[in-house]
Amino acid sequence: MPKYNGHKNWNHWNVSLWINNDEGLYRLAQDCIRRAQSRVHSSRAQAVALFLDAVGEKTPDGAPYTASSVRAAMAHMDY
């Protein structure tokens, strides 16, 4: 499958660009990871679900937030 700027596709790239370059979204993602860690059976899926509950359906320029794209954007954040 072709890559888009090193990401799976345009949507993954766009979501990652927003989460990793917008201070508010980045801090929200980190907070979701910390909150998921504090649970007994923590998982990356819980952090993703917390993030998706807190944001709208799309990035400011229209890319949809999906569990897959958010998980990919959080992949290199501390967990």
Q: Where are the alpha helices (DSSP H) in 2-79?
A: 10-21, 23-37, 44-54, 67-74
pTM of the model: 0.88
Is 57 a member of any domain?
Answer: yes
Q: How many domains does the chain have?
A: 1
Is 2 a member of any domain?
Answer: no
Is 24 a member of any domain?
Answer: yes
Is 43 a member of any domain?
Answer: yes
| Separation between Cα atoms, residue 63 and residue 15, nearest integer Å | 7
Give per-residue pLDDT as tens, 3-35: 888 899 999 999 999 999 999 999 999 999 999
Domain of 59? 10-74
